[in-house]
Amino acid sequence: MIDELADPEDAGAPAFHVVVPSLPGFGYSDKPTKTGWGVEKIAAARVELMGRLGYSRFVAHCGDWGGNVTTVLGGSFPEHVLGIHTTFALAPPGMTTDALTAVEREWTEETRDFWQHHRAYAKQQATRPQTIGYSLVDSPVGLLSWLLDKFAG
């Protein structure tokens, strides 16, 4: 996808500069040396990074954990972020559901239900990541049951 955005096969299609930062401690990024690197700080760092690269305004996309960062990025820095796209459903801070259609409201309620009743895995990974990490790495049956539970949900 990055290649197609940066250098599309169709000569008439728009091309974009594509910047692909990784989250601190993930991918190609070093582990932070200090605590406090939550989504708000990472979003602010993205704005600073893009500014240093010469982009005062930009669009952002991300999924999974980065989707949280992208949502906060769009909601907290509208003077820099032209728009966001995420595969992780969260509303920007302070946004209401007033302007949503009935279908969108239903989807929002389903998402809220998921986060209220099915997010124990995220809490486990956030508070005791090595406990579950060792379990998943050391036990094929444990990994299988973990994955089947996620697919079943």
Whether residue 64 is contained in a domain is answered as yes
Least Cα distance to 68 among 97, 54, 88 occurs for 88
What residues make up the domain containing 60?
A: 2-95
21 inside domain? yes
- Continuous H helices in 17-90: 39-52, 65-76
Q: Could you give the C-alpha distances from 153 to 14, 31, 90, 119, 144, in angstroms and in order?
A: 39, 32, 19, 11, 14
Residue 152 lies inside a defined structural domain of this protein: no
- Whether residue 104 is contained in a domain is answered as no
Residue 148 in domain: no
Number of domains in the chain: 1
In a domain, 121, yes or no: no
43 part of a folded domain = yes
pLDDT in tens, the chain (153 residues): 899 999 999 999 999 999 999 999 888 889 899 999 999 999 999 999 999 999 999 999 998 888 889 999 999 999 999 999 988 766 666 778 888 899 988 988 888 888 788 878 778 877 888 888 887 888 888 889 888 987 887
Where do we find the tokens 């986060």? 115
